[in-house]
């Protein structure tokens, strides 16, 4: 916004002194031609109609952004309500799928809300600016800290082993085995996709244990070199981490929908 305004003002300041509204109006009448001619006669750079129209559009876009932010601040002040982020969330400039991503909001952050919800997103005010986040990851109450649970490290002592094409898959096997010794079955090499490339592992478990494993691996994705995880017809990926677990289409069976195993692909 600041860059647009600076460019706009630079173009406008090259014209003869007058009010901003006069300059904008000049883009659609003969006054702009006479102004440009006067500048040319003085040996100065000519300001074209196109430059003036571009400046006017930039100023209009900047004013629109300011109006959106002002309206959001008024709504938030009137509602006087806040919510907590339960995950790190992507910040969008609007509620539609075509909106631009403008950053990431940390987990356990308290934010002012405006009361507006659309297409699964909620409008919030961040540093005085209007932004939109995924509604499902907002909570009225501050989330409790995660209880102590599984950790990286430990020793696999249940006798299970794997054959894989990536060192990170051995690390994933060892840490899952150490924390959930009841899981003894793992799948690696197969003739299709990432399994065929040696960079995927299936951890054969289901239900609450499956979710515990999937969420643990998600929380430690960076240390374990994980690209994405699938479980119970849901997917989480590094590329879209700010959206949390995302539902997947029905593939027709328990195994195809990953209800009986956690699939992990590494880089």
- Kindly state the tokens that stand for 209: 């244990």
Q: Where are the domains of the chain?
A: 2-68, 81-139, 167-266
- Residue whose token pair is 């840490």: 175
Is 266's pLDDT higher than 90? yes
33 neighbors 13 (Cβ within 8 angstroms): no
- Range 81-139: architecture per CATH: Roll (2.30)
The three-state secondary structure class of 113 is strand
Tell whether pTM > 0.85: no
Give the per-residue pLDDT at 161: 96
Task: List the alpha helices (DSSP H) in 80-186.
Answer: 167-179
Which burial class, exposed, middle or buried, applies to 10 when counting CB atoms under 10 A from its CB (0-12, 13-18, 19+)?
A: exposed
- 42-74 pLDDT, tens digit per residue, is 555 567 888 888 888 888 888 888 999 999 999
Q: What is the pLDDT of residues 74-99, one digit of tens each?
A: 999 999 999 999 999 999 999 999 99
Q: What is the per-residue pLDDT for 35?
A: 52
DSSP 100: P
């Amino acid at each position: 916004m600041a860059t647009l305004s600076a460019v706009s003002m630079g173009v406008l300041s090259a014209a003869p002194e007058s009010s901003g509204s006069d300059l904008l109006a000049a883009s659609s009448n003969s006054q702009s031609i006479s102004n440009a001619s006067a500048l040319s006669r003085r040996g100065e750079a000519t300001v074209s109609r196109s430059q003036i129209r571009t400046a006017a559009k930039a100023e209009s876009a900047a004013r629109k952004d300011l109006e959106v932010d002002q309206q959001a601040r008024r709504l938030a002040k009137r509602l006087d309500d806040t919510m907590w982020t339960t995950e790190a969330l992507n910040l969008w400039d609007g509620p539609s799928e075509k909106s631009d991503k403008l950053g990431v909001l940390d987990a356990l952050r308290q934010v002012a809300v405006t009361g507006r919800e659309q297409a699964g997103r909620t409008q919030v005010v961040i540093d005085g600016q209007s932004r939109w986040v995924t509604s499902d990851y907002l909570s009225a109450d501050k989330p409790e800290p995660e209880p102590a649970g599984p950790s990286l490290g430990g020793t696999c002592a249940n006798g299970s082993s794997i054959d894989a094409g990536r060192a990170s898959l051995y690390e994933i096997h060892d840490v899952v085995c150490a924390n959930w010794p009841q899981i003894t079955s793992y799948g690696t090499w197969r003739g299709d996709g990432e399994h065929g490339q040696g960079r995927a592992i299936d951890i054969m478990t289901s239900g609450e244990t499956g979710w515990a494993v999937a969420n643990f691996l998600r929380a430690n994705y960076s240390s374990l070199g994980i690209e994405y995880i699938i479980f119970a017809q849901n997917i989480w990926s590094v590329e879209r981490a700010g959206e949390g677990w995302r539902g997947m289409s029905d593939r027709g069976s328990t195994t195809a929908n990953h209800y009986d195993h956690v699939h992990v692909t590494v880089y």
